[in-house]
Amino acid sequence: MTTLLTQSWSWWFSGLVISFIMFLLLFFGKTFGFSSNLRTICAACGAGDRVKFFNFNWKAQTWNLVFLLGAIVGGFIAGNFMNSGAPADISANTIQDLSKLGFNAPASMQPEEIFHIDSLMSLKGFLILSLGGLMVGFGSRYAGGCTSGHAISGLSNLQVPSLIAVIGFFIGGLVMTHVFFPWIF
Amino acid sequence: MRILKYLLAGIVFGIVMAKSEAISWYRIQEMFRFQSFHMYGIIGVAVTMGILGVFLIKKYKIRDYHGNPILFHPKDKSISRYLIGGTIFGMGWALSGACPGPMVVNIGFGFLTMSIVFIFAIIGTYLYGLLQSKLPH
């Protein structure tokens, strides 16, 4: 039983639970879309006074902020009570490709090369984390959604805009990985 | 209890994202290198079940727990905003190895430097709001 909790969970179980959460939120009269929270946080910080895009009744989105809080708690529970400490179980080919870019084989869920506090203290490390976040935030609002809103909710409803957005996600991801990574790392 | 159910849904989401390694930068790299089925399996199962469920909701006009019909609002028609916005998002996703949900799950998991990524995602959203009227949509 304990190993069942601490070992990593399979893709099909994860996929089932994610769709279950999407339906649960629909049943509650809401929609599954995580990046809306970023807009809500801007509005809650008073951005609506200067920028019209943030001038909306953000308090109606409180439920999604509570969901975000739950996601942090869920991460905490998984990291502290359900963690075998095993590294991310990625394929040998990926380990080999990443080693050519100067990455060691995984020692945990995330690469020290990017997420260690020392990386943050270097200019390059700081730029990687900050530009990565900036592009995710800017791009998700420009596209009107992120992985949850477009790839899961939108594709489930067979929406063409979501399919275009997901194609965009992959163009961007492939260009970053195969064109920019050899240049950055 | 009314608001607590969202906390519980978020907790389940956070645990399953972490336990299936979907919060890992390595897994996103593996996906964009087409070297494992893992992430495609997660998204594929979620979307397959999603398509089936949304079809059934529409067919049987299933209502939410308030008794209101469950409605799906079609997104505005456009190509440029989804393609350009999506591409920028994808570049950030590959670089930071996390989309908005997994960012905060990582913070809870103990990868505190992900807070920087999350703060800049908020700044990125603010920049979009500032520039919205000047961008092609």
Using CA atoms, how far apart are residues A184 and B90, in angstroms rounded to an integer?
A: 16
Using CA atoms, how far apart are residues A149 and A153, in angstroms rounded to an integer?
A: 5
What is the enclosing helix (H) or strand (E) of B9? helix B4-19
Report the residue of A65, A114, A116, A134 to disrupt the B interface, i.e. the one with the largest count of B CBs within 10 Å.
A134
pLDDT number for residue B74? 87
pLDDT number for residue A120? 87
What would the pLDDT profile of B104-130 be if each residue is shown by its tens digit? Answer: 999 999 999 999 999 999 999 999 999
Asked if the C-beta of B69 comes within 8 angstroms of chain A's C-beta atoms, the answer is: no
The minimum CA-CA distance between B76 and chain A, rounded to whole Å, is 8
Cβ–Cβ gap A129/B96 under 8 Å: yes
The minimum CA-CA distance between A70 and chain B, rounded to whole Å, is 4
Asked if the C-beta of A67 comes within 8 angstroms of chain B's C-beta atoms, the answer is: yes
pLDDT number for residue A7? 85
Indicate the residue of A110, A120, A141 with minimum beta-carbon distance to B24: A110
Report the residue of A109, A123, A150, A183 to disrupt the B interface, i.e. the one with the largest count of B CBs within 10 Å.
A109
Q: What is the DSSP string of A118-176?
A: HHHHSHHHHHHHHHHHHHHHHHHHHHT--IIIIIIIIHHTT-HHHHHHHHHHHHHHHHI
- The single-letter DSSP state of residue A49 is G
Angle made by CA atoms B112, B118, B124, in degrees to the nearest 5: 155
Q: Are B49 and A21 in contact (CB under 8 A)?
A: no
Cβ–Cβ gap A134/B75 under 8 Å: no
What would the pLDDT profile of B47-77 be if each residue is shown by its tens digit? Answer: 999 999 999 999 999 999 999 999 998 899 9
Give how far the C-alpha of residue A64 lies from the chain's centroid of Cα atoms, to the nearest Å: 15
Using CA atoms, how far apart are residues A90 and B22, in angstroms rounded to an integer?
A: 11
pLDDT mean over B12-20: 98
pLDDT for residue A1 is more than 80: no
pLDDT mean over A108-117: 96
Cβ–Cβ gap A146/B89 under 8 Å: yes
pLDDT for residue B88 is more than 60: yes
Specify the pTM: 0.96
Using CA atoms, how far apart are residues A68 and B105, in angstroms rounded to an integer?
A: 9
